[in-house]
């Protein structure tokens, strides 16, 4: 890079405030709170957003509540991906990816170009370790894992940053007690890692905070909203 181009990229990265957040699980109050405190221009969210538009819940008193979203993001744009805890049938029927003002669902293979020219690839999906305790079509969906078709949807562009739900096999996240089954979604992400070699990678799903580096890719695994471990960071 020339000195001028390096300066432009550095300058833009300092002026455009971009927040990356982990699993939300429908607890949108946490997201509203962090947006209010940090005032980012953009939020990149790593799946398990908690999209269940047809769900009905009962509280401890037996009162019925319908799923709803309420964001106080003002001018902040939120770009989120699907995790393994979403209504994937509902997502597939969306006619518009803007599900709420300035809140955008980013389908697998979507690209967002930042103001400094860097391309962000979004690739949701992961295997549920708790799927045997859930009901297909209600709170579990076979479409949760990444497919070959999803990989084929990636445009032929340079990829600088990846936002995914789970993480490639090469990233050493497993140093805690939760056991994860083999996930073909991780295999798919490993293919993306090998081919595109992005500079930065962010994910969630594992409910822990950890950072590392694989070859030239710096990666971050974020915990979930409200957890005592770190669930957000600046890009």
Strands of 200-203's sheet in order across? 110-113, 119-123, 161-164, 200-203, 217-221, 210-214
User: Which residue has 């295999």 as its token pair?
Assistant: 187
How many of the other CB atoms lie within 10 Å of CB of 235? 20
Closest CA to 19 of 72, 102, 71, 77: 77
pLDDT of 24 reads 95
Q: 171: how many CB neighbours lie within 10 A of its CB?
A: 24
- In this predicted model, what pLDDT tens digit does every residue of 20-48 receive, in sequence order? 999 999 999 999 999 999 999 999 999 99
Q: What is the DSSP letter of 131?
A: G
Burial class (CB in 10 A: 0-12, 13-18, 19+), 64: exposed
Q: How many CB atoms lie within 10 A of CB 5?
A: 11
**CA gap 19, 21 in Å, rounded:** 6
Give the lowest-confidence range in 1-15, 167-181, 204-218.
1-15
> pLDDT tens digits, residue range 171-192?
988 654 455 668 899 999 999 9
Higher pLDDT, 50 or 61: 50
Strands 210-214 and 217-221: antiparallel
If phi > 0 it is left, if psi is from -120 to 50 it is alpha, else beta; for residue 25 that is: left
Percentage of the residues of the chain whose pLDDT score is greater than 70? 86
Task: Give the pLDDT mean for 71-85.
Answer: 94
Read off the tokens for 134: 């859930």
Sign of CA dihedral 22, 26, 29, 31: positive
Query: Of 35, 71, 19, nearest to 50 (Cα)?
Result: 71
Which region among 40-44, 131-135, 163-167, 208-212 has the lowest average model confidence (pLDDT)? 131-135
* Cβ–Cβ < 8 Å for 62, 105: no
CA 207 to chain centre: 13
Given the structure tokens 């979604």, which residue do they identify? 185
């Amino acid at each position: 890079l020339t000195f001028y181009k390096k300066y432009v990229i550095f300058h833009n990265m300092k002026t455009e405030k971009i927040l990356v957040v982990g699993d939300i699980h429908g607890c949108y109050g946490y997201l509203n709170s962090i947006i209010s405190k940090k005032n980012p221009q953009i939020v990149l969210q790593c799946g398990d957003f908690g999209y269940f538009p047809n769900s009905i819940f009962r509280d401890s008193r037996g009162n019925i509540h319908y799923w709803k979203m309420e964001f106080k993001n003002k001018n902040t744009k939120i770009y989120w991906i699907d995790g393994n805890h979403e209504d994937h049938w509902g997502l597939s029927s969306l006619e518009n990816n803007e599900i709420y003002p300035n809140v955008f669902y980013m389908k697998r293979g979507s690209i967002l170009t930042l103001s400094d020219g860097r391309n962000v690839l979004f690739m949701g999906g992961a295997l549920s370790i708790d799927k045997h305790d859930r009901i297909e079509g209600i709170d579990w969906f076979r479409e949760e894992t990444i497919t070959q078709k999803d990989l084929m949807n990636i445009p032929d562009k340079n990829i600088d940053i990846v936002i995914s739900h789970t993480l490639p096999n090469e990233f050493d996240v497993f140093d805690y007690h939760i056991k994860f089954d083999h996930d073909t979604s991780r295999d798919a992400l490993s293919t993306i890692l090998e081919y595109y070699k992005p500079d930065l990678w962010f994910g969630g799903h594992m409910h822990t905070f950890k950072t590392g580096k694989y070859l030239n890719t710096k990666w971050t695994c974020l915990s979930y909203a409200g957890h005592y471990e770190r669930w957000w960071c600046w890009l």
